[in-house]
Amino acid sequence: MEKRILHASRLRQLPPYLFVEIDRLKLEAVERGMDIIDLGVGDPDLPTPPHIVKRMAEAAADPRHHRYPSYEGLLAFRRAAAEWYRDRFGVVFDPAREVLTLIGSKEGIGHIPLAFIDPGDTVLVPDPGYPVYQAATVLAGGTPHSLPLYPSNGFLPDLESIPLDVLRKTKMLFLNYPNNPTAAVAHMEFFVQAVDFARRHQLILCHDAAYSEIAFDGFRPQSLLEVEGAKEVAIEYHSLSKTYNMTGWRIGFAVGNAEILAGLGKVKTNLDSGVFEAIQLAGIEALRGPQDCVAAHCKVYQERRDVLVEGLNGIGWNVPKPQASFYVWIPVLPGYTSTNLVKRLLGEAGIVTTPGVGFGQHGEGFIRAALTVPVARIREAVERVGTLNF
């Protein structure tokens, strides 16, 4: 009898991939000849700024950069990241010990539980949240514990409501502001509470700040590491993907507690070979070069946000206007689940969005739209929604 190949139990513990059905419906719509407006993917459509591309091309042509890169990243890149944080947030880091180069922040988020979580340990995971927090916990043998994010609390977790029996087993806490998928923001008061909570309960605090530079109406997101004493318990992830439209380049970094970063670095030395040096040199150009491109990107996203939110509200929806990220978190209409609404928008209007329940059970009641198509297409999407007679 043929031997059956079984996935490891850790893979079987991962939640089902809800979006398979959405992908199937999208493919069917394309095959029917339907024109698709894809607001489902958080991948910037704007190009990487030319000065960054130019530096990459120059460095890629240099044979010195064709060999294995260092695991922790070029010290020059880590210095640039430290300088950027100092100038942006007023926080000072030792580039050699308190900055670690990553193959995109997702890699660092995915690896951090492997460095610190043992079977039986609990990790606090926002719900709804970026799915990697839960998946990385499961793959490390840990137990995710959901932190519900409710609109009544500004999509901030109520840390003090976590049961003591859960906290006794907890070693790590993930936070993410500006938030994906809710687009919520956190202010310094919450960050102070989070750092105090982590210190009291001896938790490793991992803050995902990938969207810190995408903000509107004059709002400037803050860093959790601006909190006094935060470096005792926390690291913060940053990505060049969203700030400089470099999603395909795969470069980011983590800053903060040296001991935590050393643990993450030990995992990296065993599992990867670092970021291509030419990409790191392009990253230095991004961090040290002119930043007017970032402001220009935010202006584009703000116009798209206004067209989508004001357009939907003009036809009777009730959509809050986000202050940051390039997502809009849209409450579903009465009588719909997030999945049913996504299916109708796709099947009848050719508009791809993401069901909130795909980010966790507390994401039910919302759909996510990404502002990653030109404003004319967003305007057209609103017009199509208006024809559906909800």
0.85 exceeded by the pTM? yes
Report the percent of the chain where pLDDT is more than 90: 90
CATH superfamily membership of 9-47+293-386: Aspartate Aminotransferase, domain 1 (3.90.1150.10)
pLDDT in tens, 158-190: 999 999 999 999 999 999 999 999 999 999 999
pLDDT at 29 over 70: yes
Integer Cα distance of 126 and 360 in angstroms: 9
Looking at residue 9, its pLDDT comes to 87
The pLDDT tens digits of the residues spanning 215-271 come to 999 999 999 999 999 999 999 999 999 999 999 999 999 999 999 999 999 999 999
Lowest mean pLDDT among 30-34, 285-289, 360-364, 372-376: 30-34
Dihedral angle sign, alpha carbons of residues 86, 88, 91, 96: negative
CATH topology of domain 50-288: Aspartate Aminotransferase; domain 2 (3.40.640)
The length of the chain in residues reads 390
Residue 1 has pLDDT above 70, yes or no: no
Give me the half-sphere count of Cα atoms (radius 13 Å) on the Cβ side of residue 381: 28
Decide: 175 and 224 in contact? Cβ < 8 Å: yes
The structural domains of the chain, with segments of one domain joined by +, span 9-47+293-386, 50-288
Mind listing the pLDDT tens digit for each residue in 54-99?
A: 999 999 999 999 999 998 999 999 999 999 999 999 999 999 999 9
